[in-house]
């Protein structure tokens, strides 16, 4: 995932409107939802964080695309070393654990 990206099933403004009846609380909602790239990495949703150019990908899209390309090539190289059975098991484990909430995860995201 790109360094400044976030991922959520609902926009922070919408979540704030639901949780606090106030869409201006979007920043608070985003923090509560743990949707930043770092949060996603810690929760196992993202496999890594791709650094963006100074000012974000929109400031230098060519450099951003090159960074994504390098990361995808590296990931594919790593994946090619695994057997089909290992790939399937890794994928199964990742998605099976996604969304599972343990106290360890709660501790990780509360710090």
72-110, pLDDT tens digit by residue? 999 999 999 999 999 999 999 998 888 666 665 556 666
On whether residue 75 sits in a domain, the answer given is: no
On whether residue 61 sits in a domain, the answer given is: no
On whether residue 16 sits in a domain, the answer given is: yes
On whether residue 89 sits in a domain, the answer given is: no
On whether residue 93 sits in a domain, the answer given is: no
- Closest Cα partner for 79 from 89, 87, 70? 87
Report how far residue 25's alpha carbon sits from residue 46's, in angstroms, rounded to the nearest whole number.
Answer: 26
Provide the residue range defining the domain that includes 9: 1-49+101-111
On whether residue 5 sits in a domain, the answer given is: yes
Q: What's the mean per-residue pLDDT of the chain?
A: 91
Tell me, what's the pLDDT at 44?
87
- Closest Cα partner for 63 from 73, 74, 75, 54? 54
Does pTM surpass 0.85?
no
Tell me, what's the pLDDT at 3?
96
Tell me, what's the pLDDT at 84?
98
Instruction: Note whether 26 and 17 are within 8 A (CB).
Output: no
- Closest Cα partner for 8 from 62, 45, 61? 45
Q: How many domains does the chain divide into? A: 1
User: Average of pLDDT values for 45-69?
Assistant: 96
On whether residue 2 sits in a domain, the answer given is: yes
pLDDT at 14 over 80: yes
On whether residue 83 sits in a domain, the answer given is: no
pLDDT at 60 over 90: yes
Tell me, what's the pLDDT at 31?
92
């Amino acid at each position: 995932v790109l360094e400044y990206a976030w991922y959520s099933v609902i926009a922070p403004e919408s979540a704030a409107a639901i949780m606090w009846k106030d869409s201006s609380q979007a920043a608070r909602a985003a923090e509560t939802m743990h949707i930043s790239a770092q949060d996603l990495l810690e929760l196992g949703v993202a496999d890594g964080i791709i650094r963006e150019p100074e000012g974000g990908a929109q400031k230098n899209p060519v450099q951003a695309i090159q960074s994504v390309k390098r990361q995808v090539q590296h990931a594919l190289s790593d994946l090619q070393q695994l057997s089909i059975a290992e790939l399937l098991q890794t994928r199964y484990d990742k998605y099976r654990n996604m969304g599972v909430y343990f106290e360890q995860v709660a501790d990780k995201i509360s710090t």
